Structure 1
Amino acid sequence: MEDNELILLLKQSDKDAFTALYKKYWRQVYNFSRLYLTGKDAAEEVVQEVFIKIWESRDFMRQEDNFKGLLFIITRNLIFNQHRKSLNEDFYKMTVISAMESSYDIEEEIEAKNLSDYIDLLINELPPRRREIFNLSRKENKSYKEIAELLHISEKTVENQISEALKYLRKNISMLALFL
């Protein structure tokens, strides 16, 4: 049965249609979650939450909606929400928001916030010393020379660490773009 037919039945609270959609897509949701979550349990929890949200929002679904796209958006938001609790506001959130056009809608604002949270997550994944150097440069606006003096390292080391951090961020942000 096609997705649009299953969505129509789902809107009528048909549990068999829900089960069919679950069986058809749970693995894709799980695999996508595993890209960003380290634990199997966390990914399984996201799968459960995604399908709970699908069931709870079935009345608002349209038969012509792209179901796979909806699954991706819900999954992505749940993953970001898990990390949002532990992340602090910083320079990147302000940069992402200010870079947006003045006439943006709510969806773009949410996407910018999610991207900013994702950047925070990536920064937290950097090795501790690289993260410290990167934060001194980007959050505290210290020069390479100031950082080198503060940490008793060479300016070249600071430059290399910043360069590696930026490469890591660019690589992972471009990987995210493949899923959008």
Structure 2
Amino acid sequence: MDEKELILLVRQGNQSAFTTLYKNYWRQVYNFCRLYLIDKNAIEEVVQEVFVKVWESRDFIREDDNFKGLLFIITRNLVFNQHRKNVNEDFYKMTILAAMEDSYNMEEEIDARNLSEYIDQLIAELPPRRKEIFNLSRKEHLSYKEIAQQLNLSEKTVEHQISEALKYLKQNVYMLSLFLF
């Protein structure tokens, strides 16, 4: 049965068709979530919520629409809602760790090496001082206080520069995910 037929059946409330769609797409949703979330429970919760929303809005799904695109939009919104609840400066580390885990099936979304290279390219595009501060924090694992002392800056300046760098990285990794998904 093809996707359009499954969607028609789901619109009619057919749980078996919904289960088939779930089985076909849950891994892609899961892998996309892992790009942004590191906590397995949070990932599973988002995946479950994505498909609950699909079921709840089944009356509005058209068989001619891009179902993968719909899943991506729902997933993206739920992931970013989750992030807003838990904003944290280790986003960069989490993204790289999630991309490099052995069990992560990157072929369906993004090749881990390409993601790492892309992020390195983004870091290279940062303004020189911001790049220096970011690299001291993320690659040399210095604290904000140590960076501030080494560069003769205030800790607030270091914090602001790291925050701006992370914001830039998030926006561009998000744009890449839009392109790929």
Please, what TM-score do these two structures have when normalized by structure 2? 0.58
TM superposition shift of 1:125: 4.8
The residue that corresponds to 1:32 in the other structure is 32
Q: Is the 8 A contact 1:122 1:169 kept in 2?
A: no
CA gap of 1:122–1:85, structure 2 versus 1, over 3 A, is: closer
The residue that corresponds to 1:178 in the other structure is 176
The residue that corresponds to 1:53 in the other structure is 53
TM superposition shift of 1:169: 2.9
TM superposition shift of 1:122: 6.0
CA distance in 1, matches of 2:92, 2:30: 25
TM superposition shift of 1:12: 0.8
Please, what TM-score do these two structures have when normalized by structure 1? 0.58
CA gap of 1:10–1:172, structure 2 versus 1, over 3 A, is: same
Does 2:14 match 1:14?
yes
TM superposition shift of 1:82: 2.1
Partner of 1:65: helix, strand, or coil?
A: coil
Q: Provide the aligned length of Structure 1 versus Structure 2.
A: 125
TM superposition shift of 1:159: 6.9
TM superposition shift of 1:16: 1.3
Q: Is the 8 A contact 1:126 1:165 kept in 2?
A: no
Does 2:93 match 1:75?
no
User: Aligned-residue CA RMSD in angstroms?
Assistant: 3.2
TM superposition shift of 1:178: 1.1
Larger Cα-atom Rg: 1
CA gap of 1:155–1:39, structure 2 versus 1, over 3 A, is: closer
TM superposition shift of 1:53: 0.7
The residue that corresponds to 1:89 in the other structure is none
Task: Trace 1:109-128 onto structure 2 (pairs within 5 A).
Answer: 121=87, 125=91
Partner of 2:65: helix, strand, or coil?
A: coil
What percentage of residue pairs aligned between the two structures are identical? 52
Partner of 1:49: helix, strand, or coil?
A: helix
Deviation string 1:129-162 (CA, Å, 9 cap, x unpaired) is: xxxxx9xxxxxxxxxxxxxxxx877249887775
> Whose relative contact order is higher, 1 or 2, with alpha carbons under 8 Å and at least 6 apart?
2
Amino acid of the residue matched to residue 38 of structure 2?
Answer: T
